[in-house]
Every structure is written in C-alpha cells, then in structure tokens.
Amino acid sequence: MIDNFNRFVLANADMLLFGMWITARVCTLGFALAIVLGALACALRLYVPLLRPIAIGYIEFCRATPIFVQLLWVNYVWPELFGFPRTVEGAGVIALALQSSGYLAETFRAGIQGLPRGQAEAGLAIGLSRLTIMRRIVAPQAVLVMAPAIVNQMAVVVKSSTLVSVIAIPDLMYQALKIVNQWFEPIEVLTTAAALYFLIIFSLSTGAERIAVRFRRKFGLVELH
C-alpha cells in the first residue's frame, strides 16, 4: 500500500495540489457571490413589498433545485439564453452561488427578524435613521447570531463543489478521478482526496468558529469562564 501511495499519490501530488487550488478558488468566489445574492434576496423579501413575490420565488427555486441540475443548467443553458458564463469555472461559481444564496437569504432573514424589535424602535426614538440602525445595531448582532449557520453553509459549498467535475472543472475531485481512471487504483487516491476535503472543511469550520466565539465574547454574547 505504501508503494502504491508513493506511485499514485506522491507522484501526482502536483495534479492534486492544482486541483485543491481550483477548488479553493471556485468555492471562495461562489460563496462570496452567494452572500451578495442572499443578502439582496433577503432585503427584497423584507423591505420591498412589490418585489417580495419575486424574491420568495428566487429563494425557493435555489433551495429546491439540486446542485447537479443547477450546474448543468447554468453551464449549458445560460450561454444560449444570456451569453454567459463563457467558461466552465464561471458556470461552477454561479451554480454554487445560486444554491447557497437561497439558504443564506433565509439565514439572514431569520437572524434579522429574530432580534428584539425594541432595539430598532429605540434607535428611531433617539433620531437614528433606518440605515444607521441597520448598520450599527441590527447587522452586527445578526451576523454574530447567524455565524454558525453561515459557517455551515460554507462547508456545504465545499462539499457541493465535488460535483463541478461533471462540467470538466479541473478541481480536486476531477484530478483524483483522472488519476484513478489512468491507473485503476482508487484506494490510495480517493482516500487521499477524502482526507484533503476533510482537512479543508475542518480548517474552515474550526477557524470560523474561533473567530465567531471571539467576537461574541467581545460583544458580551457569551459568558466568559
């Protein structure tokens, strides 16, 4: 087994590292876009009654459509209808963003609506604008409350990214399968790929959780022991 590991994994380490870089890039861009789209959909649903049905339809569509279908839809249908994306990586980023934006929109809505209304009313009573109340009172508390759900969605994006190989994005999963198909030795290669995904998700979750706990303590939202 050690010989196979050296022959099939270490000898192809450059391919796996390149795949990890592509995975990191696609996931980072996809999650960043998901936050923007999710925040926009949440804002329209909460504060723009005229566009609320459209926002709800968008959120439900993104949440109810499998990521596999979204990948194929964006990659093969969007270029014909809209003229973009022009690359498979762009399609992967958009598809990951679409699915996660629906879940993030609901996370943002729950975080905002879960805060006591008295805080906003008190801000209005002392003359603060609604924008200032949102920026200085509501948003900081909501972000801290929503942090665990946001971190979880970040991990979901990484897990979902394993499917972008179906549209030929050379991510970590694509490279691992390429090596397997070349040598027909799946044990060492796929085990290594699984370990790498575990390290990525565990590192993201642990790092984000530590940051969240630090800020909660700073703002007095957890008890110091």
Q: pTM (2 decimals)? A: 0.85
Q: Find the length of the chain.
A: 225
Is the pLDDT at 85 greater than 70? The verdict is yes
Residue 223, pLDDT score? 46
Domain segments of the chain as ranges: 2-218
Tell me what percent of the chain is helix, strand and coil, each rounded to the nearest 5: 85, 0, 15
* Residue 148: band (very low, low, confident or very high) from pLDDT cuts 50, 70, 90: confident
What's the pLDDT tens digit per position in 187-198?
889 999 999 999
Residue 151, pLDDT score? 85
Which of these ranges, 57-66, 85-94, 107-116, 157-166, has the smallest mean pLDDT?
Answer: 107-116
- The per-residue pLDDT of the chain, averaged, comes to 87
What is the C-alpha separation between 40 and 225, in angstroms, rounded? 38
What is the C-alpha separation between 199 and 206, in angstroms, rounded? 10
Question: Mean of the pLDDT values across residues 136-142?
Answer: 73
Q: Which CATH superfamily is domain 2-218 in?
A: MetI-like (1.10.3720.10)
